[in-house]
A = this chain, B = another copy of it.
């Protein structure tokens, strides 16, 4: 990747996410943090972003409203942290699933360019990964859900049948200790259920606000989840209860 390309990528990422840490950019671009810092200095000189300790923030004062992205500003910080923790579980040559959640999209955007096969039903994830040449992206087809820009329906589920992955990173709307994992949309829930069935290991990405919540449809038991990644605002009572239930839990720290 040429210098200019890296600079453009940095600006794009900073603008998309609002902010980026030096460490994230370093991983994504496959250069040392020193290089990223120098880049940020120059980009700040040029007025393309604003430097801050640990990273940089967007200076695009009023980015034109992205019609695709339902503005999920809520829990953005937590989701980014969870995404950052989650990518630590990814190793070269893994075959993984990313679902159509905001957290999975963050994961895609900060995923380093290493040899990897990613199976997804999310248009945004696919789009995001298209620039990383070492990553092979496979999309389920299916009926497009315009709101979430993802593919659902029988054909999406059918196409998943043809694959097997070693890790699946899934999100949800609710985690209830007694009732299990739930989703507000039935179509999405069915796809997630299928995803779980073709994965060796299921990692659930759920920020603290999801605990205790019961959404419309259940798509998995807690026992089907191998590990939950959440943020540090989680109620300690859940931590303890999950421990008692022998569910592995990782807390993504700030």
Residues of A within 8 A of B (CB): 1-5, 18-19, 21, 50, 52-57, 67-68, 123, 126-127, 129-131, 133, 136-144, 146, 149, 151, 155-156, 158-159, 162
Q: Which of B1, B53, B139, B146 contacts A2 (CB 8 A)?
A: B53
Residues of chain B within 8 A of A133, CB atoms compared: 146
Residues of chain B within 8 A of A18, CB atoms compared: 5
Once bound together, how far apart are the Cα atoms of A4 and B59, in whole Å? 11
Once bound together, how far apart are the Cα atoms of A140 and B155, in whole Å? 9
Residue of B nearest to A132 (CB): B146
Once bound together, how far apart are the Cα atoms of A126 and B139, in whole Å? 13
The 7 closest A-B pairs by CB, nearest first: A141-B141, A4-B52, A137-B144, A130-B146, A2-B52, A140-B141, A141-B159
Query: Least Cβ distance of A69 to chain B in Å?
Result: 11
Whether B21 contacts A57 by the Cβ 8 Å rule is no
Residues of chain B within 8 A of A138, CB atoms compared: 141-144, 155
Whether B130 contacts A151 by the Cβ 8 Å rule is no
Residues of chain B within 8 A of A123, CB atoms compared: 123, 126-127, 130
